[in-house]
Structure 1
Amino acid sequence: MAGLAWGGVVMRRAELATARKAAGYTQESLAAALNVDRSTVIRWEAGDYAPLPYLRPKLARLLRHTPEQLRALIDGDPVSDRDTLSPDVEAACTWLDERLNWKPGTSARRVTARLPKTRRELPTRQARRDRVSRTDVVAALRAYYGSDPDYSLYTARFGGQALETSILTRPDWLDLHIPLNETTDALALAPTTSEPTADPVPAAALERLAEVEAAGVRLTNEQTYRLLDVDIRASAIRGTVGVAPFLEYALTLDLLENELLDALADGQPVKTGSLPLRDKYLPSLASAVDLSSRLCAGGVLALSAIARSADTYGTADFALLVQERSHLVVNAARQLTVIPKGFHQPMTDVHADTSLRNSLLRELEEELFGRTELDNTVSAPRAALPMHLARLSKPMRSLLTTDGLRVECTGFGINLVSGNYEFGFLLTISNMDFWSQFGGHIEANWEARRLKIYTSSNTDFMTCPESMQSWNNEGFFAFTSGLDRLRSSKSIPSDD
C-alpha cells in the first residue's frame, strides 16, 4: 500500500517515471539495462519498493541524474541548488573551462552562482519567448539581413496562402526529387581538421548552461558534422563536411535564436548592432552562405508518409506523421515539426556516416521504432555497426529487405535563425501492408511531447492560423516540400 501513501511519496515516484521516460526508456528496456524484472521497475514507480543500494549508481547514470538527484526522486532527500550540477552540465563546464583557458572549476562555480536567479526568471522568460510568432521571427530576420538577388526566403504556398519561412534558399536548391543512393548521396569528409571555430562569449555561454540545468534539457558533447561546401546539381548532393564538438555549436550559434526571441519579446528594434551575438556569429547574408568561413551545423528532417488501405480507413491515403517537440529539446518546446528530425552526425564511423541516408535511417530507428541505444544523449555508442541488419528493429528490417522505403531529398536551405543547414526529405512507405503490420511499433521517443497523424487526403488543418504559427521553420520547410513531392509522385489532390 506504500504507493497510496501521502502525496509526497506518490509525487516522487511519478517523477521517477517521468525521468525514465525523459531518458528514453520504457519500463521493459530500463529493467533489461539493469538486469532486473519489469515488475521491479513497476514497484519502484508505484512506491512499493526502492532500488537497492548497489543498483542506484547505474540507475543514476541511465537516467542522467546525479546520485543526489536520484536520491531526491526516490527517498525525498532535498537536492542542493548551490552544490549540484547534472553530469551533462558539469561536463559542459569542463569543456568551457578548457575552451576559454580558465582554471578548472571556474565555469561550474559561475553557473552554480547563476542558478537561483535563472530558476526564478526562466519560466517567465520561456513564456515570453513562446508568445513570439514564427511570422514575427521571419519578419525580424528579413529586416536584419535585407535581400539578395541570388537568394530568397523559402515560401510555401498552401491553401491559397503564401507563407514565408526563415530558410534561405535559391531556385536550384528547391523542387528536388533526388533519390538517395550510393551515387547521389555524396557528402565526403574533408581531409583537414583546421576549419574555423566559433569562440564562445563567456556570459552568454554560462547563461545557456544555467538555463539547461534549470530546465532539465539534455546536452551532450558528441561530434556533429559541419558543412563546409555543398553542390546540388545533376540530381546529386555533393560537398564536404568536417566535424566539431556539439558544445561548440550549442554555446555559440545556437544562442542566436533565444537572443532574437528575447529582443522581439521586449519590443526591441532588430537591426545591425542590436543583437551582439548575431552581429558576431552571423552578421550578414554573405556570412550565412560562406560555409567554409564559419561553423555551420545542421541536419536532416523528413516528412514520413505511410500508405494505408481503403479497407481499413474508408479511402486509401498516406498517414503523415508530425511531432510536437518536448520541453527537453533545446529551443523547440511545443513546436510542430516533421519526424524524424535530427542533427547530421556520426555514430561510430566518421567517414562512412557522412551519408545523409545513414543519418535519416538512424533517426527513423531512434525516433519512431524505439532503438534507444542509438540515442547518444542516453548512452555512448557501444556497437561497432549499430545499423547492421541483424540489429535493426522489425519494421526497419522489413523496409530495407523488401525495398519498401523510398528516400528522396526535396530541398536544401540555410536556416537564418541559427545558420544551420537543412536538408529536407520525403520518406515514402508505399506498401499497404506495412501500416497494419507495424503501425503498433511506431512510438516517438523523448524528443516528442506527442505524435500526431494527419491524412494526405485532407490537409485543411494546415490552413488555420494556429497551426501555421505552431510550426518551426525547418519543419514547415520539410513538410510542405515533401507534401508537394508526394502529390506530384502519387497524384494526391492539391488544395490550391
Structure 2
Amino acid sequence: MSQEGFAEHLGIAPRTVTFWHQKPDTRPKSDVQQLLDTALDRASPQVKARFAEMTTPEPLDLPEGAAADAEVRLNSDPTIVAALDWLDKHARWEPGRARREVAARLVRLDVRDLHDRGVRRGRVNQRDTARALADYYGHATNGHGRYSARFGTGTEAATTVLTHPDWLDLDCPLLPRHDKLTLSGVTPADDLAMDEETAGRAAQRLAEALALGNRMVNMPLFRLLDVDVRKHAITGTVGVTSFVGYAVTMDLLEGELIDALTTGQPTSPGALPLRDAYLPSLSAVLDVSDRMCAGGTLALTAIARPADPFRGEADYLLLVQERSGHVINAARRLAVIPKGFHQPLTDFRVDAQVGATLRREMEEELFGREDIDNTVGEQRHADPMHPSRLSEPMRWLMGQPGRLRLECTGFGLNLVSGNFEFASLIVIEDEEFWTRYGGQVQANWEASRLRQYSSLDTDLLEELVNDAAWSNEGLFALLQGLRRLREIGGSRVDLPPIEWEIT
C-alpha cells in the first residue's frame, strides 16, 4: 500500500504514517499498536508470511568469524543479556525489543567505520575536552570549580575534574580510621528516564561492543550516594548498582562529546542530547544522590630504587600506563596505574573503603593477579585478598609496617561522565622491593604498555605533564601525586612547585 492507502486502511491521519516512515524507531501509542495488531490479525496468510520474513533478523554481516561470535554473545553472553533486560526495563519497552533493536543495528554496522571513528576519537585530546566542557557548564559556585595546576613556571594544565579546595591535598592515609566510606543499607533505584533517543543510543552502544568484541562484564559497582571529604578523612556512603546500567547511560557521554568535536558540531547545551538528559548542569553533577554516580580510584605509583652506577642516584620510579583500546574507560589515553572502578568483590561492607579497591588494583594491574580480574572469570574465592592468596610482592609489602604507604591526595567529580575520582598516591618506601621484585611488575590487559619516569628527571616530567594524551582524571591524579611526593620524597625527588587553582 501507499502511505495514504495504509493510513486509510487503519483509519488514522496520513501524516502519522509519514512520521513512521521518517522515524522507523518510533514506538506508537498503545491505541495505535492495537490498530496495527488488528490489521495484522486480519491480513491474508501471504501478507502475514511476508511480514514475518521481513521482521526476522538478517544474518549478521560482519567479518568472517565475528558474525558467529556476535550472534552467540547476543543470545548467551550473560552481560549482554543483562544489558538487554536492563534496557527493556528502563526504556519501558516490551520484553525482547532491546534484542531486536541491537540486532537491527548490528547488521548495519561496518567494523571498518568503527575503527576509523576510533582513530578520529584518538585525535581529540585532553585539552579539547577540557575546553568544550568549560564552555558547556560555565563557572561553578559555592567554591567548586575545575581543577587546574601549574608545574613549575612554564607548564599549565586544566582538567574536567570538578573539585573544591577542601577536597585537595588530603594527606589521608587509606586506613580504616581515616578511610570511612561505608555501605548504605538501601540503594535508591536507578530511576533514569529514557526516551527513544537515549534508549536508541544505548542499543547502538551494545551493538558496537558486539561488533568490536569489546570485553564487558556485568560486575557490581559502588554508586556514590553522599560524600564528605576533608583533610585526613573520607566519609560518606555508597550503594550498589550494575555495570551494564552505567555502560549504556553515563559512559556514553564521553563518546557523544568527542564525536561532536571530531565532526565540528556544537557542544553547547541543547546540542548534546545524552548530556542534556543525564548531566545538564553543575548542580546535577554535584547532586550525586539523585543520579547514577559510579567512579573509581587511581593512583600515581612511586617505587623507591637504590642508586645505580648506570642510572644514577637513588630515586622513585614513577609508572604511567597507555590504556588499551579494549577498556571501557579512558581508552587509548595516558593514565596513572593502577586505575579501576570502585567496586566490591565478596565483602561488600569492607570493600566500600577506597583503600580496598586500591590494594586489589595493585594486585591485578601491577602484580599479575588474574584471579581477581572479574573481566576474566567469575570470582569463586570467599576472600580473594586473604594473606594466603596474595602475590609474593604484595605479601612482602604487607609483611612489615613502613614498606608501603597508601594515601588519598584529592577527590573530584569528572565532568566527562559524572564519575567520582579518588586520586591517590602509592609509595613503596623500602628500596629492597625494587631489587627483589622489580622484574615482576607488569601491567595487565587494560594497558597497552607502561612508561617509567624518574622522580629526579624534572625536564622529562614536565614534558609528561604537558602531554595532551592524558585522560582528565589521570592528569588530576598525576599532579596531586607529584605535589604530595615533593613534600615527602626527600632527596629522592627533584620537583618544582606544583600549584593548583580552582577555575
TM range (shorter): 0.7 to 0.9
1 CA distance for matches of 2:156 and 2:108?
A: 42
Residue identity (%): 50
Change (3 A) 1:249 1:356: same
2 CA distance for matches of 1:320 and 1:234?
A: 25
User: Which of 87, 102, 121 is matched with 1:96 structurally?
Assistant: 87
Instruction: Tell me the CA shift for residue 101 of structure 1.
Output: 4.4
Change (3 A) 1:83 1:226: closer
Instruction: Tell me the CA shift for residue 189 of structure 1.
Output: 1.1
Paired residue for 1:136?
Answer: 128
Paired residue for 2:14?
Answer: none
Q: Secondary structure at the match of 2:468?
A: helix
Moved more, 430-439 or 186-195: 186-195
Paired residue for 1:114?
Answer: 105
Moved more, 474-483 or 207-216: 207-216
User: Which of 242, 262, 267 is matched with 1:245 structurally?
Assistant: 242
Residues 22-81 of structure 1, C-alpha deviations (whole Å, 9 max, x = no match):
xxxxxxxxxxxxxxxxxxxxxxxxxxxxxxxxxxxxxxxxxxxxxxxxxx99xx867448
Instruction: Tell me the CA shift for residue 465 of structure 1.
Output: 8.2
Paired residue for 2:172?
Answer: 178
2 CA distance for matches of 1:79 and 1:278?
A: 32
1 CA distance for matches of 2:264 and 2:65?
A: 43
Maintained 8 Å contact 2:302/2:428:
yes
Q: Secondary structure at the match of 1:273?
A: coil
2 CA distance for matches of 1:177 and 1:77?
A: 52
1 CA distance for matches of 2:471 and 2:176?
A: 31
Paired residue for 2:20?
Answer: none
Matches within 5 A, 1:159-170: 159=152, 160-170=154-164
Paired residue for 1:295?
Answer: 292
User: Which of 117, 134, 149 is matched with 1:156 structurally?
Assistant: 149
Maintained 8 Å contact 1:257/1:331:
no
User: Which of 197, 206, 210 is matched with 1:209 structurally?
Assistant: 206
2 CA distance for matches of 1:232 and 1:328?
A: 33
1 CA distance for matches of 2:164 and 2:230?
A: 12
Q: Which amino acid aligns with 2:73?
A: L
2 CA distance for matches of 1:291 and 1:80?
A: 41
Q: Which amino acid aligns with 2:166?
A: D
Q: Which amino acid aligns with 1:252?
A: T
Paired residue for 1:191?
Answer: 185
2 CA distance for matches of 1:291 and 1:94?
A: 25
Unaligned runs of 5+ in 2: 1-61, 498-503
Instruction: Tell me the CA shift for residue 271 of structure 1.
Output: 1.3
Q: Secondary structure at the match of 1:177?
A: strand
2 CA distance for matches of 1:290 and 1:341?
A: 24
Q: Secondary structure at the match of 1:486?
A: helix
Q: Secondary structure at the match of 2:170?
A: coil
Instruction: Tell me the CA shift for residue 196 of structure 1.
Output: 4.6
Q: Which amino acid aligns with 2:132?
A: A
Change (3 A) 1:465 1:485: closer
Paired residue for 1:442?
Answer: 441
Q: Which amino acid aligns with 1:414?
A: L
Change (3 A) 1:153 1:394: same
Maintained 8 Å contact 2:82/2:244:
no
Query: What TM-score comes out, normalization by structure 2 length?
Result: 0.80
Paired residue for 1:18?
Answer: none
Moved more, 215-224 or 255-264: 215-224
Paired residue for 1:85?
Answer: 73
Maintained 8 Å contact 1:258/1:331:
no
2 CA distance for matches of 1:364 and 1:113?
A: 41
2 CA distance for matches of 1:367 and 1:78?
A: 29
Change (3 A) 1:319 1:194: same
Q: Which amino acid aligns with 2:330?
A: A
User: Which of 375, 378, 387 is matched with 1:377 structurally?
Assistant: 375
Query: What TM-score comes out, normalization by structure 1 length?
Result: 0.81
Unaligned runs of 5+ in 1: 1-71
Paired residue for 1:355?
Answer: 353
Residues 247-290 of structure 1, C-alpha deviations (whole Å, 9 max, x = no match):
11111111100010011111112211111111111110111111
Q: Secondary structure at the match of 1:314?
A: coil
Change (3 A) 1:346 1:77: closer
